[in-house]
Amino acid sequence: AEARPWLREALEALADHVRRGRLKRLALERFDGEPVVGSAVEPLLVELGFRQGPRKLTLSA
């Protein structure tokens, strides 16, 4: 995630979109073609409020 500085800003905008109620819930199973759980981007998503599940990360409005 550090190698792509634009990534944090993009994921923050996505999370904000959900928090404002524009999406009821967002579940991510894959990121950049790989499972999101255990990925390099997982800690950032959790920091932004996504909840960990067995195979996905979920953010609710």
Asked whether the beta carbons of 11 and 20 are under 8 A apart, the reply is: no
Q: What is the DSSP letter of 2?
A: T
pLDDT, tens digit, for every residue of 35-50?
999 999 999 999 999 9
**Using one digit for the tens of pLDDT, what is the confidence trace for 2-60?**
567 899 999 999 999 999 998 899 999 999 999 999 999 999 999 999 999 999 999 99
> Quick check: is 34 in a domain?
yes
> How many domains, in total, are found in the chain?
1
How far is 45 from 12, CA to CA, in rounded Å? 9
Task: Output the pLDDT for position 5.
Answer: 83
Note whether residue 22 is domain-resident.
yes
User: For residues 42 and 30, what is the distance between their CA atoms, to the nearest angstrom?
Assistant: 10
Residue 35 placed within a domain: yes
Q: Is 1 within the bounds of a domain?
A: no
Task: Give the pTM.
Answer: 0.86
How far separated are the first and last CA of the chain, in Å rounded? Answer: 24
pLDDT score of 4: 79
